[in-house]
Amino acid sequence: MGSASSAATRELHGTVVNQIDGTALFPEKLGGIERGLRVFRNHDHAFVNQVMRSRNQRRIGVNLRLSESAAGFRLQASDEDGVTASSEIESQRVGADRPAQARRVLERQLAKLGASEFCASRVDLDLPRMPHVPLATLNGLRRGLVEELRRQRARLRPVRVVAHVHNHAPFPERDLSFLGNVLNQKAASFYRRHGVEGIEPAAESGLDMHGRKVMTTRTCIKYEMGLCPREPGDPSHRCPAEPWFLVDDEGRRLRLDFSLRRTQLRDGDRLLVECRFSQTAQRPEEKEGVRTRRSPALFFLLIRLCGLCASVRNR
C-alpha cells in the first residue's frame, strides 16, 4: 500500500508501506515521518488487484416459477423490467422419496442461469407434491426459458425514433471548390438548400487537377532531409534547386511548394508543404482524348510523404 504524510510545511510526502501489523506500519522510507504526523492511505494494493481481477457484468434479475403442465412441467420467468416468458417440457411426474432434498435440488439447479445476462432473484415451486426431476430435464427447461426471455425482451425493447427536421441555415460560403468534396446529387442538393450557389465537383469525379493544390502538410521534406533554411544543417549539403516533385509509381508528378507560415506548434514558424498536381506528360489512355477518372491513390500520397518513401527529383 502507499501512504501520504502532511508535514508542518503543509507539503505532501509519500512512501510505500511494506507491511502492516495491527496498528504498526513498516514504511519503506522513514524520511519526513515524525511523531504526531498525520498519515493517510492513498493506495490499497490488495483492493486494486481485486478490482483488476473482477469481471464486471450487468445482470438482469428474474423471478422463476416452476409448475406442472398438461404433459410435464412449465417454467415461467418475470424479469425486473416486467417482461415475462415461459418454457414447457414433456416429462413424467414421479414423486420424490425425499421431498425436502428434492426441493433444495430444484431451487439450486433452476437458479443456475450460467453465463447468461440473467440472474435468479427468487425461485418459487408451485407444485402439489415435490417431484423427482432429472437434471437433463431441468437443464433443457432452463435453456428454453432463457432463449424465450431473450426473444421477448428483443420484441418489447423500446425503439427511439428521432424525427429529422430540415432547416435552411445559411452556409458561410456562397461558392464551393473541389475541396468541398461534393461527389453526388444528394450532397449538392444539401448545399443548395443552405444557400450555396456555385458548386465545383469533387476531385474524384474526374475533375482536371492540373495546377491545383491537393494536399498541405506540416511534414516538410526539407526539414527531414536537414535542408530547412530555418534550421542549422551540414554546410556540405547543397539544397537542390526548386521546384521539387513527388513522383508516384505510375509516373504522376506533384509539385512541392514550400511556404513559411506561423503555425500553432510550439516552435512557431514552420515550413508548410503544398502539393500541386503538375503532370505534364500525357498518359496512354488520354492520348485519344478520352477523359478518365484520377486514381484515388493520388490523393493519399501523404503516407509517402510522411515515410519519405517518394522519390524527390529536381526538374
Residue of 252, 303, 305, 296 lying closest to 274 (CA atoms):
305
Tell me the average pLDDT across 266-278. Answer: 47
Q: What is the mean pLDDT of the chain?
A: 76
In whole angstroms, what is the distance from residue 66 CA to residue 124 CA?
6
In whole angstroms, what is the distance from residue 139 CA to residue 196 CA?
66
- Higher-scoring residue by pLDDT: 92, 124: 124
pLDDT of residue 274: 55
Mean pLDDT check: name the lowest of 112-121, 168-177, 237-246. Answer: 237-246
Do 45 and 53 meet the contact criterion of CB atoms below 8 Å apart? Answer: no
- Enter the pTM of the model: 0.42
pLDDT in tens, 97-128: 888 898 998 999 899 888 889 999 999 999 88
Question: Beta 84-90 vs 72-79: how paired, if at all?
Answer: antiparallel
pLDDT in tens, 253-269: 778 877 765 444 333 34
Contacts from 266-273 at CB under 8 Å and sequence distance 24+? 269/230, 270/218, 270/220, 270/223, 271/220, 271/222, 271/223, 271/228, 271/230, 272/216, 272/217, 272/218, 272/220, 273/215, 273/216, 273/217, 273/218, 273/219, 273/220, 273/221, 273/305
Mean pLDDT check: name the lowest of 5-19, 31-45, 233-247. Answer: 5-19
